[in-house]
Chains A and B, each alone.
Chain A
Amino acid sequence: MQVEKFYYDNKIVRNFAYATVIWGAVGMLVGLWIALQLVFPGDFPHGLNLAPYFNFGRLRPLHTNAVIFAFVGNGIFMGVYYSLQRLCKARMFSDKLSYIHFWGWQLIIVAAAITLPLGLTDSGEYAELIWPIDVAITIIWVIFGWNMFGTIIKRREKHLYVAIWFYIATFVTVAVLHIVRSGELPYTWLKSYSLYAGVQDALVEWWYGHNAVAFFLTTPYLGLMYYFLPKAANRPVYSYKLSIIHFWALIFLYIWAGPHHLLYTALPNWAQSLGIVFSVMLIFPSWGGMINGLLTLRGAWDRVRDDVILKFMVVAVTAYGMATFEGPMLSLKSVSAISHYTDWIIAHVHIGALGWNGMLTFGILYWLVPRIYKTDLYSKKIANVHFWLGTLGILFYAIPMYWAGFTQSSMWKQFTEAGQLKYTFLETVTYMKPFYAMRSLGGTLYLVGVLFMVYNLYKTVKAGKLVANEAAEAAPLEKVYVAHKGEHWHRWIERRPVQLMVLSLVVILIGGLVELIPTFLIKSNVPTISSVKPYTPLELEGRDIYVREGCYLCHSQMIRPFRSETERYGEYSKAGEFVYDHPFQWGSKRTGPDLAREGAGNLKKTNGWHFRHFREPSSMSEGSVMPSYAFMLKDDLDTSDLPAKIHAMITLGVPYPKGYEKEALADLDKQAQQISNTLLSDSIRVSPRKEVIALIAYIQRLGTDISKNPTPTFNK
């Protein structure tokens, strides 16, 4: 057959490689900054908080989004665009689509970097971006898929190598996850409320959140591992058979695991159990993949000593193994009882992000950049320095955080002989500071390593010249494929990308639907509580400020049924308490105390206390790491969207009276005036139309619905 000549597009690979490096450094820098904010918590220049735009609560989503979607996201596209062309023996389907994909994705990142510090957020973890950006992500993702499938369809290689299956599963699943999680009702051009409330919102969030880890941070990177590790080691993957089992088992099991983020919460028990069972089973495909990666180096381990790229890859795969061993363990109820809400989880995710994603990305960059520039890596020595800084950085990061997690949990649960809680929450916060400082050191080492890489790659690029269009040749695919007798079934599907996509979609949908639908449809899963009423207009405005400032990133609103928690925070949380919470605010971390019952029982404080606390947290809680919110004392409450907000809530099924949009403002003013009056009696003169008043109203409302004394006793 006539051999065809064609050209690989290396320019798009180069672009994504640059974006990976740049956004990686930015995302990590923001991470380091917020880590240091917990060590130096005051307002600038005494501390590192620059209110309001660069406070912890606004920067933390910027860090997570930058690392996940900008650093790893661009890393995925870099690797996919390089490997897919070669595995398909074809140039990308359309240069135009590649171009739109690249610039569209970078614009989305820039939009995120602008909107998040402005406090424009949907508040779902890793799904914070506002609805117009969600729409843009959908469009760009479809363009990526279109380009990928176009390339696969015009390929010159009959069979789809296992890496491509992982890419296809990634594309399909991320699309489904993103669309379901972005279910929201816009009420202005920038803002929206989640379609789901309370328990349902929480389940959708962690179904999404965990699968963002699974299908954004894991499956595409496994695809990259299956291509780049054999290439770097110059030997085929250890077991191709294992890779087939690895693929199907992983995508089937992963989609069910989300509820392990909600153990001991108000999520129905059956959903928690499903999450646990599938999370435990996940260890098999995960370790199957890890072993397959590591054993690819069988007989070549001596090369790992000299080859810095292999070093990065070995640490990456090992970190993957560690994180995926730890994951199932953390999903056991008894372990989750200790680890949830603590810094243990922060350590766990950073083993994954810094170890698995980071080190694999660096290995690929060192392998790929010299190749597309037809030159050698500028300095192996510098790359080695990077390797050690990175590895030590991970250790210095993770070990203090594991230690901190255990310590936090033990201190929270410690009782005195007399049966009282031994430590106040604040004592546990101040005890963490040395650990936070050590973690920052780890982050610094890791970031410095990355800067060494930037220099090394820059010098490499300078020394070479980009082969923008790399010549290649291959025979075209036979139009009619004659199946061999007794052909293997998987061979059939390996030739059919569309069927592979559909089958992957079916596999992932089953897990998602079985968990989500009953929670939405069966009333007994969320028993209603008659005393739970919708928020007043002022409380609703206050709640939106709470969301805007990212308070949920440090404060949970979910008391688990443990004595150590009910003693500290009051009655454990019930599913029916959250039916009007669009979006839910359970949080996942307690850098500060739980606030589910902050307005009720023993936890209730006066309005004056809250006012002073927002102005200067450490004046009321010495040693607090919370940033100051003094700007809310000056900023006027913007009520221009209130009618739209109430209207949206009514549309979502919140039982405000008909036509309440028109009356809401008067009720808001009335309640604000009451709070302002109570503050006056505490010698605080503040206009009722300031933001702080709304936030105080919301905080004072928390937990009062089902408390024995539901009438707020302001300023007691």
Chain B
Amino acid sequence: MFTFIKQYAEKITGAHIYAFISLCIFFLFFVVLLFLVKKMTKERVSELSNIPFDEAEIK
């Protein structure tokens, strides 16, 4: 079943670099995530966390 992919994958040289690149991407992803989350304003956070209470039911 995998022969089709296999014949190409086995020929890839230096495949280890992909693992390293993916690690870097995700490290950066989390650094950026933490940085941007830190930058969120108080009002914004309060607005978002109150979404469940901003109900649309007719009382």
Which A residues fall within an 8 A CB radius of B? 5, 8, 83, 86-87, 89, 156-157, 159, 161-163, 195, 227, 230-231, 236-237, 239-241, 244-245, 248-249, 252, 470-474, 488-491, 494, 510, 514, 517, 520-522, 652-653
- Which of chain A's residues has its CB closest to B38's CB? A241
Q: Which residue of A lies closest to B19 (CB)?
A: A514
Docked CA distance A239–B30 (Å): 18
Q: A473-B58, A520-B2 given as contacts; is B44 within 8 A of A231 (CB)?
A: no
Determine the chain A residues whose CB is within 8 A of the CB of B45 once the complex forms: 239-241
> How far in angstroms is the closest Cβ of chain A from B44?
7
User: Is there contact, CB below 8 Å, between A240 and B48?
Assistant: yes
What residues on B are CB-neighbors of A252 within 8 Å?
26, 29
Evaluate whether A472 and B37 lie within 8 angstroms (CB atoms) in the complex, with A87-B51, A240-B49 already known: no
* In the complex, number of A-B residue pairs with CB atoms less than 8 Å apart: 87
B44 & A488 in contact (Cβ 8 Å cutoff): yes
> What would 19 more interface pairs be, CB under 8 Å, given A248-B30, A472-B57, A520-B2?
A8-B57, A83-B52, A87-B52, A195-B1, A227-B52, A230-B52, A237-B49, A240-B49, A241-B40, A241-B45, A245-B37, A248-B33, A252-B26, A472-B55, A472-B56, A472-B58, A491-B44, A521-B10, A653-B1
Is B5's CB within 8 Å of the partner chain A?
yes
Question: Is B34 an interface residue when CB atoms closer than 8 A count as contact?
Answer: yes
Q: How far is the CB of B2 from chain A (nearest CB, A)?
A: 5
The 5 A-B pairs of least Cβ separation, nearest first, read: A236-B49, A474-B56, A472-B56, A240-B49, A161-B51
Is there an interface contact between B33 and A159, defined as CB atoms closer than 8 Å? Answer: no
Alpha-carbon distance between A470 and B56 when the two chains are bound, in angstroms: 10
Report the separation of the CA atoms of residues A617 and B51 in the bound assembly, to the nearest whole angstrom: 61
- In the complex, what residues of B have CB within 8 A of residue A227's CB? 52
Instruction: Name B40's contact: one of A86, A488, A652 (CB within 8 Å).
Output: A488
Give B1-51 interface residues, CB cut-off 8 Å to A. 1-2, 5-6, 9-10, 19, 22, 26, 29-30, 33-34, 36-40, 44-46, 48-51
Least Cβ distance of B34 to chain A in Å?
7
- Interfacial chain A residues near B6, Cβ < 8 Å: 520-521
Closest to A235 in B: B53
Which listed residue, A161, A245, A522, A653, touches B48 by the CB 8 Å rule?
A: A161
B56 partner, pick from A83, A237, A239, A473, beta carbons under 8 A: A473
- The answer on a CB contact under 8 Å between B30 and A249 is yes
> In the assembly, what is the distance between CA of A494 and CA of B48, in Å?
10
Q: A245-B37, A490-B36, A510-B22 are in contact. Are A471 and B58 (CB under 8 A)?
A: yes
A159 touches B57 (CB 8 A): no
Task: Determine the chain A residues whose CB is within 8 A of the CB of B39 once the complex forms.
Answer: 488
Evaluate whether A517 and B9 lie within 8 angstroms (CB atoms) in the complex, with A472-B57, A490-B36 already known: yes
Q: How many residues of B contact A (CB 8 A)?
A: 32
Q: Pick the contact of B52 from A161, A471, A510 — CB < 8 Å?
A: A161
Bound-state Cα–Cα, A488 to B41, Å:
9
A6 nearest in chain B by CB position: B56
Question: Which residues of B approach A to under 8 Å, CB–CB?
Answer: 1-2, 5-6, 9-10, 19, 22, 26, 29-30, 33-34, 36-40, 44-46, 48-58
Residues from chain B with Cβ under 8 Å of A474 in the complex: 56
| CB < 8 Å neighbour of B26 from A156, A510, A652 | A510
Interchain Cβ contacts under 8 Å between A and B, 6 examples: A86-B56, A157-B54, A241-B40, A245-B34, A471-B57, A514-B22
A86 touching B55 by the CB < 8 A rule?
Answer: yes
Q: Which residue of A lies closest to B55 (CB)?
A: A86
Which residues of the other chain, B, contact A195 by a CB distance below 8 angstroms? Answer: 1
Query: Are A159 and B48 in contact (CB-based, < 8 A)?
Result: yes
Contacts of B57 in A (CB 8 A): 8, 86, 470-472
Residues of B within 8 A of A156 (CB): 56
A374 CB, nearest partner CB in chain B, Å: 11
- Residues of chain B lying within 8 A (CB to CB) of residue A241: 37-38, 40, 45
Closest chain A residue to B3, Cβ basis: A653
> What residue in chain A is nearest B46 (Cβ atoms)?
A236
Residues of A contacting B30 with CB < 8 Å? Answer: 248-249
Cβ-defined contact, B26 with A490, below 8 A: no
Q: A161-B52, A510-B22 are in contact. Are A521 and B9 (CB under 8 A)?
A: yes
User: Nearest chain B CB to A288's CB is how many angstroms away?
Assistant: 12
Q: Which residues of B contact A491 (CB under 8 A)?
A: 44
A293 CB to nearest B CB, Å: 13
In Å, the complex CA distance between A474 and B56 comes to 6
Q: Report A-chain residues with C-beta under 8 Å of the C-beta of B1.
A: 195, 652-653
Complex Cα distance A249/B2, Å?
32
* Residue in chain B with minimal CB distance to A89: B56
Query: What residues on A are CB-neighbors of B19 within 8 Å?
Result: 514
Point out the residue from B22, B33, B52 that lies within 8 Å of A86, measured CB to CB. Answer: B52
B58 touches A244 (CB 8 A): no
Query: Does A157 contact B44, Cβ atoms closer than 8 Å?
Result: no
In the bound assembly, the distance between CA atoms of A489 and B10 in angstroms comes to 40
Cα distance A237–B51 in the bound complex, in angstroms: 10
Using CB atoms, name the residue of chain A closest to B5.
Answer: A521
- Residues of the A chain whose Cβ atoms lie less than 8 Å from the Cβ of B5: 521
- Nearest CB of chain B from residue A628's CB, rounded to whole Å: 40
In the bound assembly, the distance between CA atoms of A162 and B46 in angstroms comes to: 13
